[in-house]
Amino acid sequence: GPLSERPLMEVRLGELHAWVSTCSFSPQGLLGAVQRAWGSYCAKYIHVKQGGPAGISMLLAGYCLLSYGWNYQHFKRHRWRKYH
């Protein structure tokens, strides 16, 4: 099919620049990309007949990393130091 309709994992490395140039970076285009990504994530990990804890644990791990990144400056100020 056309290059603009292919998902990212099916694009060859040499075609990547042309594929990115066909993407829409408007707020509506970015919102559509986030909705498609969330839908594919839910289809693969959450809405399965016999799923495991992988999907929920990935969300939890992502939240922990994001929370640590947000609070890094706070943690950095309050850590113990050997020499003052």
Q: What DSSP string describes the chain? A: --GGGS-GGGS-GGGHHHHHHTS--SHHHHHHHHHHHHHHHIIIIIS-TT--SHHHHHHHHHHHHHHHHHTHHHHHHTS--S--
pLDDT at residue 83 greater than cutoff 70: no
pLDDT digits (tens, 9 = 90+) for 9-54: 888 999 999 988 888 889 998 999 899 889 988 888 878 777 778 8
Question: Contact, 22 vs 3, CB < 8 A?
Answer: yes
Structure-token pair, residue 31: 């919102």
Q: How many residues does the chain have?
A: 84
pLDDT at residue 72 greater than cutoff 70: yes
pLDDT at residue 77 greater than cutoff 90: no
Which pLDDT belongs to residue 2? Answer: 83
